[in-house]
Structure 1
């Protein structure tokens, strides 16, 4: 999904910047580790690998029921500052992905979304904001 945001920023497709790109549904995660997190947080963590320290792109993914996997969070959000925070803390994104430990990563970098249980479930929502970087 992050490649859609970078394509929009770089080439104006599928939407020229500035743009907000929305998607819904539910992704799947192959569990390999024993960490804490869920499909939305892992999607955002994987996206962070792609956007890195690029300015002008933010990605949020969350469960409308307020719970993501085995964590107390609804999801996560990332941008270039998240990447910089991880770098300052010497966090290895790949290791957190390998251990399915996205919640711990975002707790440390400040990207968790905590809503509590919402009492509804209309699938997950993904929001990508692509700004016009000057």
Structure 2
């Protein structure tokens, strides 16, 4: 059954999402704050990451972690997925990340500082600590990255 038929505001918000993830994550949170719930908001494109650290990750893992940090006051329930359609994100086995309102607390409970990991470009370690890596394996396609934000 279609999302709209179940009362969800389902829409493609941006099919050309670009820019540095440091700027994109707060933009997505502002969009979420203004959305009518329940909503299924879809985005696609390819963002960028400025590398300053020595960690592992990719633009989708970084965006997912940044969204989780920026959305702490968004109010549950929500879930955010950012993934590469080819099944790979940066030099890792992950395609991206799938985060929720408890991601940051799970990272901290595992003994890590999510902001310090992000500052070291180590989103892979942060999301692995939370159990929030999106691992699909290779898909044989590479259309764009995709982001899905579900707000209940």
TM-score range, shorter chain: 0.7 to 0.9
Displacement of 1:57 in angstroms is 1.6
**Matched residues in 2 for 1:77 and 1:111: separation?**
5
TM-score, with normalisation over the residues of structure 2?
0.77
**Matched residues in 1 for 2:95 and 2:113: separation?**
23
Q: Which has the higher contact order (CA 8 A, sep 6+)?
A: 1
TM-score, with normalisation over the residues of structure 1?
0.86
Q: Provide the residue aligned with 1:35 in structure 2.
A: 55
Which consecutive residues of structure 2, in runs of 5 or more, have no partner in the other structure?
1-23
Displacement of 1:82 in angstroms is 1.3
Partner deviation per Cα, 1:77-132 (whole Å, 9 max, x = no partner) = 1111212212322422211111111111111110001111111000100000111x
Tell me if 1:23 matches 2:52. Answer: no
**Matched residues in 2 for 1:7 and 1:69: separation?**
27
Write the mapping of 1:113-128 to structure 2, written as runs, cut at 5 A.
113-128=134-149
Secondary structure at the aligned position of 1:21 is classed as: strand
Write the mapping of 1:91-130 to structure 2, written as runs, cut at 5 A.
91-130=112-151
| Aligned mate of 2:95, from 74, 99, 122 | 74
- CA 8–29 in structure 1, closer or farther in 2 if over 3 Å, else same: closer
**Matched residues in 1 for 2:47 and 2:28: separation?**
17
Which consecutive residues of structure 1, in runs of 5 or more, have no partner in the other structure?
none
Secondary structure at the aligned position of 2:126 is classed as: helix
On the 8 A contact 1:5/1:129 being kept in 2, the answer is no
Q: Provide the residue aligned with 2:84 in structure 1.
A: 63
Secondary structure at the aligned position of 1:20 is classed as: strand
**Matched residues in 2 for 1:2 and 1:30: separation?**
14
